Chain A
Amino acid sequence: MDKKSIEHVAMLARLRLSDGEIESLESELNRILGYAEQLSELETDLVEPLAHPSDLTNALRDDLTRPSVPREEIQSNSPKSDGEFYLVPAVLGNANELKK
């Protein structure tokens, strides 16, 4: 991981990092990745890919509706709403603004 790829991942995660943070993350992340890298030493060619750690399949429910949560109640979780809609900063603005 170099500075550039850390900036890219931070942008995808919508994290604003200072230069100092990027610097310390660089060595930290590389240590973590190096640790995980040990796994690549294993011979996995004959191992079937695992889609899920559990053996369960087909956990299904019937197509039945259940009451939803009242709007006031669910919207109390949000920082801003107008009683009908959630309100968020205009998303038509430039996504690049989030970078800096």
Chain B
Amino acid sequence: MSDPAFELIVGLEVHVQLQTQSKLFCGCSTKFGSEPNTQTCPLCTGMPGTLPVLNREALMLSIKTGIALNCEIARFSKWDRKNYFYPDLPKGYQISQFDLPICGPGYLEISDPKGEFKTKKIRLIRAHLEEDAGKSVHDEVSGSADTKIDLNRTGTPLLEIVSEPDIRSPQEAKAYLTELKLLLGYLNVSDCNMQEGSLRVDANVNLHIESNGEKIATPIVEVKNLNSFRAVERALQYESERQFSNWKSDGFTIDDRPKQTVGWNDSEQKTIPQREKEESADYRYFPDPDLVPVVIDGTTIDTIKDTMAELPSAIRNRLESEYQILPYDSDVMVNQGREFVEYFEAVAKESSEGKVASNWMQQNVLQIMKDREMGIEAFPIASHRLANLIKKLTAGELDNSRAKDVFQVLLEKDLDPAVVMKELGIEAVDDSALESICEELLAMNPQVVEDFQAGKKQAIGSLIGQAKKKNPNANPGKVRELLIAIIEKKL
């Protein structure tokens, strides 16, 4: 009997570190990579008698993110204590938001430019603001040695974005995270550096199995320690297979087992059950009396909306309609960031050749950026120079291969393409001159003509090379056209 069909059900919790100078409730710096325990004060080390005061910028960045994620922004929001004991949490509780988070339900639309899944909305449950804990360094070699604690990160603002279990495949999970990261980058809300822990992902995973006309849900597993998007994809794939085979052997469903926490082990490529921090995560939330509630009025929301620049999904749509380029092309360019898009638009507008500009951006410009490991802001050719080159190319003043020669020179010298063309001796060859070159070549190579007529179309290639030798400005495409036209006329 064949295995029953099953569906992967995934919800993601993403912790994003907000780009503020100071911590969420005190004035200590949030700078990454400083000497351990040099960015702490009585407040963020949990000394008695201290009072937290909310960082305005962290609140504004949260609202901004909420707006971009189509969330309902709470008019009234408050702070709660989440209680648990762990050495990296000096107060014994984390200040978080329980029932009244800043951002309520929203959604993020994901699509796949390769068309592997349909465009869909991933609904969001909420996004709340909270403080980060410190970092524990475990000595895993000796096992018995002390654990080292660095509290620099303690109190850094985090926005936790919680999705509904709307994700159905590892590919969708990756698309969701990629789009979220891109959006947060466009918003200047976070640098989303996963190596530095600015973006952390936990996944809640189970399966819906179709068995004998019944829908069975397997026990939910929360996967932690997902340090890259690739790890997320692999962990989901792994869990999908593991849960299915477990169900086949033990038959346990969501009703038989509580949620279990596992960690992804990247080197072994598998998930490993983690010891629970508390028995059944009993956090005993209660309102934090040290912090007064936050009231967000319509004017604040409108002001933030007004200052928000265009977001990735809107830019993609606009590029496609304004410059007649394909979704794939707009996606590649938007993924390069706002500055790249701005550069493209400058070139496209100035040259009035959106499609050609898009091709040049994705091929030649991106290639140079990659080779030289530079961002578009350091790209040496000014946008109007590239636009001029593209204009000359589309006007037929030079062909693609010669345009690339000019491009190479422009990378080194800040000159007008017309000047470079002159320097390289590039000039348009008039049609009659080209025609006579072609006539001459055909007369000298009767064998080629014969081969071509016999159906060996590629025979003509050798003549194109010869034409270029006679005149380096000969446009290969045009030479080919002319050669064929002449042969066919003779028939």
Which of B28, B150, B282 is close to A12, meaning CB atoms less than 8 Å apart?
B282
Tell me if A86 counts as interface (CB < 8 A to partner B): yes
Chain B residues closer than 8 Å to A40, beta-carbon distance: none
- Interface majority SS (helix, strand, loop, mixed), chain B: loop
Q: How far is the CB of B39 from chain A (nearest CB, A)?
A: 5
- Does B36 contact A91, Cβ atoms closer than 8 Å? no
Give complex CA distance A82, B146 in Å. 10
Within 8 A of A (CB), among B281-307: 282, 284, 287, 289, 291-295
Chain A residues closer than 8 Å to B251, beta-carbon distance: none
Tell me if A64 counts as interface (CB < 8 A to partner B): yes
Within 8 A of A (CB), among B116-137: 136-137
Given contacts A86-B37, A91-B87, contact A63 B57 (CB under 8 A): yes
Chain A residues closer than 8 Å to B292, beta-carbon distance: 52, 54, 56-59
Give complex CA distance A75, B35 in Å. 14
State how many residues of chain A have any CB contact under 8 Å with chain B. Answer: 39
B277 to chain A: closest residue by CB? A95
- Interface majority SS (helix, strand, loop, mixed), chain A: loop
- Does A68 contact B275, Cβ atoms closer than 8 Å? no
Give complex CA distance A71, B29 in Å. 14
- Does A91 contact B56, Cβ atoms closer than 8 Å? no
Tell me if B54 counts as interface (CB < 8 A to partner A): yes
Which of B41, B144, B148, B287 is close to A52, meaning CB atoms less than 8 Å apart?
B287
Tell me if B358 counts as interface (CB < 8 A to partner A): no
- Does A84 contact B275, Cβ atoms closer than 8 Å? no
Given contacts A57-B293, A85-B150, A92-B143, contact A68 B22 (CB under 8 A): no
B57 to chain A: closest residue by CB? A63
Chain B residues closer than 8 Å to A58, beta-carbon distance: 292, 294-295
- Does A85 contact B137, Cβ atoms closer than 8 Å? yes
- Does B21 contact A63, Cβ atoms closer than 8 Å? yes
Given contacts A51-B78, A51-B100, A77-B45, contact A85 B148 (CB under 8 A): yes
- Does B78 contact A52, Cβ atoms closer than 8 Å? yes
Tell me if B40 counts as interface (CB < 8 A to partner A): yes
Chain B residues closer than 8 Å to A75, beta-carbon distance: 37
- Does A69 contact B40, Cβ atoms closer than 8 Å? yes
> Per-residue 0/1 for B412-452: is the Cβ within 8 Å of any A Cβ (1 yes, 0 no)?
00000000000000000000000000000000000000000
B51 to chain A: closest residue by CB? A59
Q: Tell which of B54, B87, B147, B294 has the most Cβ of chain A within 10 Å.
A: B147
A70 to chain B: closest residue by CB? B38
Which of A68, A81, A89 is close to B38, meaning CB atoms less than 8 Å apart?
A68
Q: Tell which of A54, A60, A68, A94 has the most Cβ of chain B within 10 Å.
A: A68
Q: How far is the CB of A9 from chain B (nearest CB, A)?
A: 9
Tell me if A74 counts as interface (CB < 8 A to partner B): yes
- Does A85 contact B294, Cβ atoms closer than 8 Å? no
Tell me if B47 counts as interface (CB < 8 A to partner A): yes
Q: How far is the CB of B449 from chain A (nearest CB, A)?
A: 77
Give complex CA distance A8, B287 in Å. 22
> Per-residue 0/1 for A1-26: is the Cβ within 8 Å of any B Cβ (1 yes, 0 no)?
00000001001101000000000000
Tell me if B472 counts as interface (CB < 8 A to partner A): no
B58 to chain A: closest residue by CB? A63
Which of A11, A52, A69, A87 is close to B42, meaning CB atoms less than 8 Å apart?
A69
Tell me if A31 counts as interface (CB < 8 A to partner B): no
- Does B136 contact A91, Cβ atoms closer than 8 Å? yes
- Does A94 contact B22, Cβ atoms closer than 8 Å? no
Given contacts A59-B292, A75-B37, contact A12 B278 (CB under 8 A): yes
Chain A residues closer than 8 Å to B328, beta-carbon distance: none
- Does A90 contact B144, Cβ atoms closer than 8 Å? yes
- Does B38 contact A71, Cβ atoms closer than 8 Å? yes
Give complex CA distance A69, B41 in Å. 5
Q: Tell which of B20, B85, B139, B289 has the most Cβ of chain A within 10 Å.
A: B85
- Does B37 contact A71, Cβ atoms closer than 8 Å? yes
Tell me if A100 counts as interface (CB < 8 A to partner B): no
Chain A residues closer than 8 Å to B38, beta-carbon distance: 68, 71
Which of A11, A60, A66, A82 is close to B148, meaning CB atoms less than 8 Å apart?
A82
Tell me if B83 counts as interface (CB < 8 A to partner A): yes
A99 to chain B: closest residue by CB? B279
Within 8 A of A (CB), among B23-39: 26-29, 35-39
Chain A residues closer than 8 Å to B56, beta-carbon distance: 60-63
Given contacts A51-B287, A74-B40, A84-B35, contact A64 B27 (CB under 8 A): yes
Given contacts A58-B292, A58-B294, contact A85 B36 (CB under 8 A): yes
Chain B residues closer than 8 Å to A14, beta-carbon distance: 85
Given contacts A77-B47, A86-B150, A90-B147, 17 further A-B contacts (CB under 8 A): A52-B293, A56-B292, A57-B293, A57-B295, A58-B292, A62-B56, A63-B21, A64-B27, A65-B27, A68-B40, A74-B45, A80-B146, A87-B147, A89-B146, A91-B87, A91-B138, A95-B275
Interchain residue pairs with CB less than 8 A apart (12):
A8-B279, A52-B78, A59-B53, A61-B53, A61-B55, A64-B22, A66-B28, A68-B29, A85-B149, A91-B136, A91-B138, A95-B275
